Structure 1
Amino acid sequence: MLTFKSLDVVDTLKMAIQCEMDMESYYNKLASLIDNDDAVAILRGLAEKEEKQRLRLIKYYSRLSGKKILYLNLGKKHKLNTLVKCSDDPIEAIRMAKKNETEVKNYFQMVSRRLIENDLRKLFQELALETEHHLAILESSFVEPISIESSGIKSETVYSEVVKSQKESIRTW
């Protein structure tokens, strides 16, 4: 979990901008790994939403600091170190995308609780809610593949359960 000794608003905004940039590039890379057109459309849509959130944060940063961000290249200080890079395995990358969205959501929620200024608090609450929507989209669109071996159930048991249920359904006719 990420802890702050003191919360600097400008650094917090920079870190949020970097999170959005990282997630956008993650979704674009993940979309390039998948062949299914529907899945690619979902991932590209999530990348576009991340870009919109990033632009919203940049506007707020510019208004607050008086500076414009042309290119953001932040050091480790401004990166959320709990985010995982996109792997080459699409199934593992989707699992990690869910984990990353959870980490970003937790960061936004933590920041929104610690900020005093109402506008910023509301901004980070809205970002946390939008990130929660991203997580819901991922979970509803990409279901974990079922592996009988990993569940510890023997295939004979599964087969006998299916046969038993079919016999019971025949009796109810």
Structure 2
Amino acid sequence: MEEQDTKQFKIFRAKDGRGLMQDGCMTVQPMTGAAREGMTKAMEAGLNGGEEISIVVNMPGFSIANVWFKHGYPLPLHSHSADCWYYIVAGSIKLGTEELGPRDTFFIPSGVPYTYKPGPEGVELLEIRTANTFDFVNFSKGEKFWEKAVESVEQNREAWKTAERPKIDA
């Protein structure tokens, strides 16, 4: 997706969204050997079947990603190089000890590691960043996390094939 002129009115359509790495929007920082091996095993087990992510806005200094993580998706502890507001459209997450649902918002500053667990219906959210390019730094370096991640993928991958996005409350 080419960068947009910020001085013109513009409509962005979800159908025109592109993948996180398609246009160099997100780069992955080098991982430890155990993390790289664990991520590879999770990908081979079907990790990508538990997510749908597209960049719907990519402008100088600003981006919005539409994200759907399905139930059981093992999001690793990670950080990004840009501040980000998260707006939950539908479904729910557990962030630390907090349960968040539709229309709830949370903020993660640049460089702060975080993770969350999608709720029983999964979660659809918007990631609103203060940059149009950012990195992904993985902090889930231990074998134990990746073993559990692969197990979660194996337990959920069949259900992911027919999963529906969480319903938006009226």
TM-score normalised by the chain length of structure 2: 0.25
**Between Structure 1 and Structure 2, whose CA radius of gyration is higher?**
1
TM-score normalised by the chain length of structure 1: 0.25
Q: If each structure's helix is expressed as a fraction of its own residues, which one has the higher value?
A: 1
Q: Which is bigger in relative contact order (C-alpha 8 A, separation at least 6)?
A: 2
